[in-house]
Structure 1
Amino acid sequence: MDDQFKTDAAPPSFVVTSAYAGTVVYGPGGKFGPRIQPDLQLVLVHTGSMTVEIDGISHTVPSEHIALLKPGHEEHFYFSEKRETWHRWIAVAAEPLEPDAEAYFNSLPLYIPLTRRMNQLTDMMQSLQNDGCDRKDGVVKALGQSAVWMYINEYLQMGLNRRKHPAILAALDHIHERYGDDLGLSDLSRITGKTPEHLIRLFHRDEGMTPIQYLWKYRVKKGLELLRSTGLNIGEIAEQAGFKTSYHFARTIKRHTGLTPSDIRKEHYNKPVTS
């Protein structure tokens, strides 16, 4: 993949006319094409592998990666010789791209690692289609466009993450998944394979705070999200967000926001609805 990450140019606008998510399994040695790619198309390779020949140049996309195919190119697909290849795709038909938009898309890498978020978005599109939504329905088109935006965002995020130490990325992943558990510095040290002292130094360098400060900051963020988006009581939110007691949760929220959890919830529900 391209090692240069372009974070200074804003992603281009484009008008989606239809979108569709599909799935297919090819047996060993399967082939498809040639064809001229008509749309922006995301191909999610789940198992096996895919080699796509684009304008005569071969590129191999491994499993658990997602490829972005651009319109107007001749493509021929060759799938793993040794095992089945399961892939899904999101085809996003758009009005003709402006030259700057076409140049932007052509500057993106052919493939990046496949994330859970992209899988969830694809699941949602397929579920809507199974319920009878047409490829031109507004919600399906919006999800198709969102998938393209997500590809761009995750590519740019890779550039930011490449500047962080791998131990930091491992610790952040663990915190984001297990923030509600009884986590401590020793747990993060074990997960990352770094001594507590080394991990603290790395966190100060890459995050500007200690691992435990980051953990509590994340717990506050998730607690606030639950306050504003659910009807759970304060005790339930405190437990889910990793706080020992509802008193500890309330005191910490007040220290960070100047408001009590009840005030935050009232403020959120009293906001006027705008069209």
Structure 2
Amino acid sequence: MGLKANGCDFRKFVNYEDSDDLYLYEVGRNKCTPLYSYEHLVKNRIIIHIIKKGKGILRINNKQYDIHKDQIFLIPENYRCFYQADKDDPWEYIWFIIGGPKIPLMLKEAGLTPEHPVYTPVSDSRVITELALDTLKNYKRQYYCIGNLYRICDYMIENSSRKEEITVSNSLRYVKNAISYIQLKYSEPVKIEQVASALGLNRSYLTRLFKDATGYSLQEYLLTYRMKMAVKLLSDKSLSVAEIAKNVGYNDTFTFSKAFKRHYGKAPSDYRSVEIKVSTGTITNV
């Protein structure tokens, strides 16, 4: 049964971060009352709203956009936004709070950016709506939900009204290649200079491109990815912390443990001592 809160018809906090590129934190649906409004300033997250019915307005970057059924609007991270349902035909929408290093790139390929925060499909918009509703219905299934989000992004890219205006620039290709390089080499003692060198770029130039495109610095992304892989390995009780440190690119356990504790607030051994059972919502010491 759906959770009703703050005017929402359905809202679930899921916090799905197992995927390397795309994270899902919250899903919801709201059938708004006339002139229902909300103001956002979201940190380190992105929100997309899929308009199922009705219409309303979005204000961002000192601009106002009239938005209607079948469109999608973006609430970018670190931008103050205001949106409001129409007085006579208030909208009903589905929203996803998402994140991850590649999600800004995927949305940009679809033409959805802070400068262009409204998406209009050129083909049957029911595909996106049906995928979104299916995600709400199956919100307990992490990989199913993430798969649906990839399908939504793919459909948006292939059916964007701005597709002809958009070309994937060399800078975006460099960023994608940098992500792929890190995901391939994270288990080695790789340095940022090596990433830039492998792509034939100056370090400072690549660092700027990466930060602008993803919101992460290269060093932050490398650290975050290593920590994420370390958490997965900690579930394997046959591996020692020293072995895990080497498997994620650290030559000594102390440096790894220090970085892990700074990232998660717990030492690796302490983190391992708690098993979180998402299916039951219980925490069991093991």
> So what's the TM-score if we normalise by structure 1?
0.43
> So what's the TM-score if we normalise by structure 2?
0.42
In terms of Rg, which structure is larger?
1
More helix by share: 1
- Which fold has the larger relative contact order, with Cα–Cα distance below 8 Å and residues 6 or more apart in sequence? 1
